[in-house]
Amino acid sequence: MSANFGDICLFKGRPYAVDKIGKTIMVGPDSSVQLVAEPLVGGGNVKFLVESEGDLLLADVYDCLFTDLYNLNHNDRVRIDLFKLNEKEKKWVKLTSFGDRVLFLGLGSVVNASF
């Protein structure tokens, strides 16, 4: 696992970390490291982990969001792919719908809510 982590979060009481390619680990109570998801194929270069309604999600953001965040205009488009962790298969599964939930991503923070 690269020391170049994209994000970390607590999920089910344990710390999880994802690197820039989507490879995801969990740190056990004895400080052991366990692989929980293989890397994504392709994808963006900024990753966010977030727990939402009991699921661990990965927001995969393409770098256009962070090239010049403060100079985006109404014509700029941002691509974000959202994945749900399949713990048994150790892979990220792309979501096609987020239901009645909304996700706010920011530099250093992630907030999710449902309506």
Is 80 exceeded by the pLDDT of residue 16?
Answer: yes
Report how many domains make up the chain: 1
- Would you state the pLDDT for residue 65? 47
Closest listed residue to residue 60, CA positions, set 115, 98, 7: 7
- Would you state the pLDDT for residue 101? 84
Higher pLDDT, 40 or 1: 40
Report pLDDT digits (tens) over 57-104.
Answer: 999 988 654 555 556 565 656 788 999 999 999 999 999 998 888 888
Average pLDDT over the chain, rounded to whole? 84
- Give the whole-angstrom CA distance, residue 71 versus residue 80: 18
- Would you state the pLDDT for residue 1? 47
Which range of residues forms the domain containing residue 66? 5-114
Average pLDDT over residues 25-54: 91
pTM: 0.81
Is 90 exceeded by the pLDDT of residue 2?
Answer: no
- Give the whole-angstrom CA distance, residue 79 versus residue 67: 13
- Would you state the pLDDT for residue 104? 82
- Give the whole-angstrom CA distance, residue 12 versus residue 95: 21
